[in-house]
Amino acid sequence: MSTSTPITGHPDLAELRARYDRAAETPTAQAADGAIVLGGLFIALSPWIAGFSGVGSLAMNNFVTGLATAVLGLCFAAAFHRTHGIAWVCPVLGLWAILSVFVISGTAITATTVLCNVIGGAVVLLAGLATMAPSMMPQRGGRRA
pLDDT in tens, 97-143: 999 999 986 667 888 899 999 999 999 999 999 988 766 666 555 44
Residue 143 lies in a domain: no
The pLDDT of residue 92: 97
Number of domains in the chain: 1
Of 21-30, 39-48, 90-99, 125-134, the one with minimum mean pLDDT is 21-30
Residue 2 lies in a domain: no
As a whole number of angstroms, the distance between CA 117 and CA 84 comes to: 25
User: Under a CB-based contact definition with an 8 Å cutoff, are residues 131 and 29 in contact?
Assistant: yes
Residue 31 lies in a domain: yes
Residue 68 lies in a domain: yes
Residue scoring higher pLDDT (11 or 96): 96
Residue 142 lies in a domain: no
Question: Residue 40, exposed/middle/buried by CB under 10 A (0-12, 13-18, 19+)?
Answer: buried
As a whole number of angstroms, the distance between CA 104 and CA 116 comes to: 15
Q: Containing domain of residue 54, as a range?
A: 14-136
Residue 5 lies in a domain: no
Amino acid 52 reads F
Residue 6 lies in a domain: no
